[in-house]
Structure 1
Amino acid sequence: MDFGIKGKTALVFGAGGGLGGAIARQLAAEGARVVVADIDADAAARTQEAVSKAGGSAMVMVWNIADLSLITQNIALIEREFGPVDILINNTGGPPPTSASGQAPDQWSRYFEEMVRSVIAVTDAVLPGMRRRGWGRVITSTSSGVVAPIPNLGISNALRLALVGWSKTLAREVGRDGVTANIVLPGRIATGRITFLDEQKAKREGRSVEEVSAESTASIPVGRYGSPDEYGAVVAFLASTQASYLTGSVVRIDGGLIPSI
């Protein structure tokens, strides 16, 4: 199936990581020109190299999404090098494990800036062009905690849920302009972030990482953690021309893990 995004420009945040890197590779495989944005220059370079080896086109942009002062100049650079952004992948890192109570106000403020305000600001920067051209995709990666809050991820559960409300509202505002806005949320996808969370849980509970991982795996109907490429493939479809009638949705990529309907 041809996703119809050959020659489109995709800006992928967190593209040096497991999920972001997989998304970047999948979009490049469909012919998109990918901006590999990440705060870690070396990680971004590795993703660019993987894209290039597969015959795709990618440019690295070292970008701390929390720094709002970079938005105007970086978007201008992308437009000069690759053209205007057609596909925006909002993918930020998560906060450390925390309880919902007892967190300092500056912790809430810090992660709100990094995980919520930054996403909205970047989207606002590229959205007018998408609307003028009559085509665009805004895809925001969050967490399964927005559907079933995850214990000891209090800040993440709360702040990522704010993006769900924002995305749903946005979808209604821009749908007639040919722009879609969707949320994707990972279950237990085998990335460094999941390894870290398993390690932290094992430490808190005085158990081995292997025991924690086995317990998590047993709760997943398909019986395994997902691969980043499986996640990236779903995101690539949401960016496709075929997905033009899919907007305002929350798409679970979780192997059936989340128990609610």
Structure 2
Amino acid sequence: MDLMLKGKSVFVAAASKGLGKAVALQYAKEGARLTIASRNMEDLANARNEILVLTGVEATIVRMDASDGEDIRHAIRIAAEANGGLDVLVTNAGGPPAGTFIDMDDADWTKGFELTLMSTIRMIREALPYLKAAPDGGRIVNLASVSVKQPIDGLILSNVFRAGVNSLAKSLASELAGDGILINMVSPGRISTDRIVELDRKRADASNRAVEDIQAEAAKQIPLGRPGTPEEFARHAVFYGSFANTYVTGQSLLVDGGMVKGL
């Protein structure tokens, strides 16, 4: 299938590693002109080099702290200037700290709000003028978590604020449709990334158990019997944020191997 992304200008946030990098790589494979952003310039440079070697696409890189409004404004402007506008926005940010309700004080809640919900709001707001001007309409993909459908124990901040991102996308689907902009969420379940390894280690330490035992138990909760790969996740995210998608908006796709049981 032709995703009609060749030559399109795509911005991917938090793309120096993990799911963001996998999504950026998949866009590059489709021939998109790419801008990737992250807080760590060394990791960004490494990601750019990897994408260049694998695809021949040289991405523009820009430092961006997703919780900083000025950084976001600057990064979106750089993306538009580098590639003659903006056709696709992929919002993403590192997950907020793990913990239960009793673990979190006001500062933790404020940081989680800024990192997870406000970062998405700000990226969309800054990108909208460019997306509205895009000749074939625009696409927005919000990378989130299956916690938008089923809360995850020990991730109270993610559970609360990613649900807000889900509500935002559903609301904007109606507001932006007249401008030819489609917005969707693509939410990973258990995908093999550094973030998952970090959470597994914390759970193992808290329960005085081996990480391997935690991982084996988690795999048993997935009907397909294994975690997904970043590449598997990226293929779905890129379709939703492509111009082969012409009629799906306001939806939240779970890429989870059947893990979430809710209807």
How would you bin the TM-score normalised by the shorter chain?
over 0.9
Q: CA deviation at 1:71?
A: 3.2
Q: Does 1:125 align with 2:135?
A: no
Aligned counterpart, 1:111: 112
Contact 1:178 1:244 survives alignment (8 Å): no
Give CA deviations for 1:59-84 in whole Å, capped at 9, x if unaligned. 11111121111233333322222121
Q: CA deviation at 1:161?
A: 0.6
Aligned counterpart, 1:229: 231
Q: Does 1:26 align with 2:29?
A: no
Q: Does 1:73 align with 2:51?
A: no
Give CA deviations for 1:84-108 in whole Å, capped at 9, x if unaligned. 1211111111112111245211211
Q: Secondary structure at the match of 2:119?
A: helix
For the residues of structure 2 that align with 1:26 and 1:67, how far apart are their CA atoms? Answer: 27
Q: Give 1:52-71 correspondences, 5 Å limit.
A: 52-53=52-53, 54-71=55-72
For the residues of structure 2 that align with 1:52 and 1:102, how far apart are their CA atoms? Answer: 42
Aligned counterpart, 2:91: 90
Residue identity matched to 1:99? T
Structure 1 residues 72 and 102, CA gap change in structure 2 (3 angstroms): closer
Q: Where in structure 1 do 4 or more consecutive aligned residues deviate above 6 Å?
A: none
For the residues of structure 2 that align with 1:236 and 1:76, how far apart are their CA atoms? Answer: 22
Match of 2:151 among 149, 152, 160: 149
Q: Give 1:1-261 correspondences, 5 Å limit.
A: 1-53=1-53, 54-101=55-102, 103-133=104-134, 134-261=136-263
Mean Cα deviation higher: 131-140 or 184-193: 131-140
For the residues of structure 2 that align with 1:251 and 1:71, how far apart are their CA atoms? Answer: 26
Mean Cα deviation higher: 192-201 or 59-68: 59-68
Contact 2:37 2:75 survives alignment (8 Å): no
Contact 1:32 1:57 survives alignment (8 Å): no
For the residues of structure 1 that align with 2:243 and 2:155, how far apart are their CA atoms? Answer: 35
CA RMSD of aligned residues (A): 1.2
Give CA deviations for 1:154-205 in whole Å, capped at 9, x if unaligned. 1110011100000100011111221111011101000000001111111111
Q: Which runs of 5+ in 1 are unaligned?
A: none
Mean Cα deviation higher: 248-257 or 58-67: 58-67
Percent of pairs identical after alignment?
A: 34
Q: CA deviation at 1:6?
A: 0.7
Q: CA deviation at 1:13?
A: 0.7
Contact 2:65 2:72 survives alignment (8 Å): no
For the residues of structure 1 that align with 2:63 and 2:74, how far apart are their CA atoms? Answer: 12
Give CA deviations for 1:138-157 in whole Å, capped at 9, x if unaligned. 11111111111011111110
Q: Secondary structure at the match of 1:170?
A: helix
Contact 2:14 2:38 survives alignment (8 Å): yes
Residue identity matched to 2:83? F
Q: CA deviation at 1:123?
A: 0.6
Give CA deviations for 1:91-130 in whole Å, capped at 9, x if unaligned. 1111121112452112111111111112101111111221
Residue identity matched to 1:249? Q
Residue identity matched to 1:225? P
State how many pairs are aligned: 261
Structure 1 residues 258 and 64, CA gap change in structure 2 (3 angstroms): same
Q: Secondary structure at the match of 2:59?
A: strand
Q: Secondary structure at the match of 1:226?
A: coil
